[in-house]
Amino acid sequence: MLSFIARNSIQKVITLFFVSVISFLVIHLAPGEPSQVDPLNPKFTPEMVERFRQQFHLDQPLTIQYAYFYRDLFTGKTVSWKDNQPVLKKVWERFKNSLWLFVVGTLLTWTLSFPIGIRSAIFRGGPYDRSATFFSYLLISIPGFFFAYVLIIIVVTTLHVPVIDMETFGLGSPPWYRWVMDRIWHLLLPSLLGATGGIAVLSRYVRSQMMEVESQDYVRTARAKGVPEEQVHYKHALRNALLPFVTMFGLILPGLIGGSVIIESIFAWPGMGRMAYEAILARDYPIVLTVNFISAVLVLVGTFISDVLYMVVDPRIRL
Partner 1 sequence: MTIRKILIIVPALIIVFLLQSYFWVPTYEQQSRGNPDRLNEYITASIGDASLLNPILSADSASSEINNLVYEGLIDYNEDLRFRGRLARSWKIYEEAFFYINDNASVPSMGKVGPEQIIELLLKAKKRIPPSNPQEKASLENIEEIVLLPAKEFVITRLEKEGKTPGQPKEITIRVTAPPRIKLVLKEVDQFLFQSLSRILGEDYFRTFNGEKYVRITPEIDPVKRSKVVQEALPPTEHNPVIIFQLRPDVKFHDGHPFDAYDVKFTYEAIMNPKNLSPRLSDYEPVKEVTVVDPLTVRIIYKRLYSPALGTWAMGILPEHLLNDEALKKEAIQSGKDPDKFSMRQSRFNRHPIGCGPFVFKEWKSDQYILLERYDQYWEGPPHYSRFYYRIIPDPLTQEMEFYAGTADAYAVRPHQVERLKQDPTYQSFSGLSFGYSYIGYNMRREPFNDPRVRRALGMAIDVDKIIEYVLFGQGERITGPFVKQTDYYNKYIQPLPYDPQGALKLLEEAGWRRNPEGWLEKNGKRLQFTLITNSGNELRKAILTVAQDAWKQIGIDVRTDILEWAVFIQERVNKLDFDALILGWSMGIEPDLYQLWHSSQTNPYQLNFVGFKNEAADDLIIKIRQEYDHDQQVAYCHRLHEIIAKEQPYTFLYVSKWTAVLDKRIVVKETDAEGKVIYKKITPTKTGNYMFYFNRWIKLPETPLFSGEG
Among 4, 66, 68, 185, binds partner 1 (CB under 8 A): 185
Cβ atoms 297, 257 nearer than 8 A: no
Q: Which residues contact 296 (CB under 8 A, 6 or more apart)?
A: 16, 19, 20, 23
Residue of 96, 54, 18, 79 lying closest to 290 (CA atoms)? 79
CB of 159 to partner 1, least distance (A): 7
**Spatial distance between the Cα atoms of 164 and 161, rounded to a whole number of angstroms:** 10
Interface of this chain with partner 1, residues 277 to 316, rule: CB under 8 A: 278
Cβ atoms 286, 81 nearer than 8 A: yes
Does 25 sit near partner 1 (CB under 8 A)? no
| Nearer to partner 1 (CB atom), residue 256 or residue 300 | 256
Does 236 sit near partner 1 (CB under 8 A)? no
Candidate segments 21-29, 62-70, 152-160, 302-310, binder of partner 1 by CB under 8 A: 152-160
| Nearer to partner 1 (CB atom), residue 129 or residue 278 | 278
Does 61 sit near partner 1 (CB under 8 A)? no
Torsion angle of the four alpha carbons 293, 298, 303, 308, in this order, in degrees rounded to the nearest 10? 130
Candidate segments 18-26, 136-144, 155-163, 309-317, binder of partner 1 by CB under 8 A: 155-163
Does 29 sit near partner 1 (CB under 8 A)? no
CB of 96 to partner 1, least distance (A): 12
**Spatial distance between the Cα atoms of 235 and 113, rounded to a whole number of angstroms:** 18
Candidate segments 123-131, 160-168, 218-226, 300-308, binder of partner 1 by CB under 8 A: 160-168
Which amino acid makes up residue 248?
A: M
